[in-house]
Structure 1
Amino acid sequence: MKTPIYIILLFIFSIVSCNAQSPVLPLYNQNEIINGAYYKDTENELDKFVGTWINTNGNTSLTVIFEKKLQVYNDEWYEDLLIGEYRYTVNGREIVNTFLDLNIADPNYHSIAGNEIIFKNDRPSCSECTPTERRILMFFDDSDPQRKHLSSYLAIRYVDVNGLEKIEAKLVSIGTTATLEGSPTEPRVPYGDYVLVKQ
Structure 2
Amino acid sequence: MKNIFKILSVLFLISCKAQTITPLYPVDSSPTNEIIVNQYYKDVDNDYNPYVGTWKWESGNNSLTIIFNKVVYNNNGHGDFSDLLVGEYQYIENGVELVNTFPLIEPIGIPNIVNQEDPWENNIVSIRIADTHKGIPPCPECAPNTRFIILEISDPAKPNLMGDIVMARFVESSVEKIRARIYKTHNLSNSNGELSIPENSIYTLIKQN
TM-score over 0.5 (shorter chain):
yes
Which of 88, 91, 103 is the matching residue for 1:88? 91
**What is the distance in 2 between the residues matched to 1:76 and 1:13?**
22
**What is the distance in 1 between the residues matched to 2:177 and 2:171?**
6
Contact 1:81–1:114 (CA<8 Å) still a contact in 2? yes
Deviation at 1:61, TM superposition (A): 1.3
Query: Where does 1:131-150 land on structure 2 (aligned, <5 Å)?
Result: 131-144=144-157, 147-150=158-161
Which of 22, 25, 28 is the matching residue for 1:28? 25
User: 1:173 maps to which residue?
Assistant: 184
**What is the distance in 2 between the residues matched to 1:92 and 1:122?**
32
1:73 and 2:75 correspond = yes
1:158 and 1:122, CA in 2 relative to 1: closer, same or farther beyond 3 A?
closer
Query: Where does 1:1-199 land on structure 2 (aligned, <5 Å)?
Result: 15-19=13-17, 21-29=18-26, 31-32=28-29, 35-36=36-37, 37-74=39-76, 75-100=78-103, 102=113, 104-105=115-116, 106-121=118-133, 124=136, 126=138, 128=140, 129-144=142-157, 147-180=158-191, 183-184=192-193, 186-191=194-199, 192-199=201-208
**What is the distance in 2 between the residues matched to 1:123 and 1:179?**
29
1:35 and 1:27, CA in 2 relative to 1: closer, same or farther beyond 3 A?
same
Q: Provide the aligned C-alpha RMSD in A.
A: 2.7
**Pairs aligned (count):** 190
**What is the distance in 1 between the residues matched to 2:137 and 2:130?**
9
**What is the distance in 1 between the residues matched to 2:164 and 2:123?**
11
CA deviations on 1:140-166 (whole Å, 9 max, x unpaired) are 11111xx33323101111011132001
**What is the distance in 2 between the residues matched to 1:17 and 1:26?**
20
Look up the SS of the partner of 1:108 in the other structure. Answer: helix
1:178 and 1:25, CA in 2 relative to 1: closer, same or farther beyond 3 A?
closer
**What is the distance in 1 between the residues matched to 2:186 and 2:94?**
29
State the AA in 2 paired with 1:27.
Answer: L
Look up the SS of the partner of 2:103 in the other structure. Answer: helix
1:103 and 1:67, CA in 2 relative to 1: closer, same or farther beyond 3 A?
closer
- Structure 1 unaligned spans of 5+: none
Identity within the alignment, %: 31
CA deviations on 1:112-170 (whole Å, 9 max, x unpaired) are 001411224468364635553211000011111xx333231011110111320011110
TM-score, normalising length from structure 2? 0.77
**What is the distance in 2 between the residues matched to 1:168 and 1:126?**
8
**What is the distance in 1 between the residues matched to 2:189 and 2:25?**
33
**What is the distance in 2 between the residues matched to 1:103 and 1:83?**
7
**What is the distance in 2 between the residues matched to 1:38 and 1:29?**
14
TM-score, normalising length from structure 1? 0.81
Deviation at 1:46, TM superposition (A): 0.4
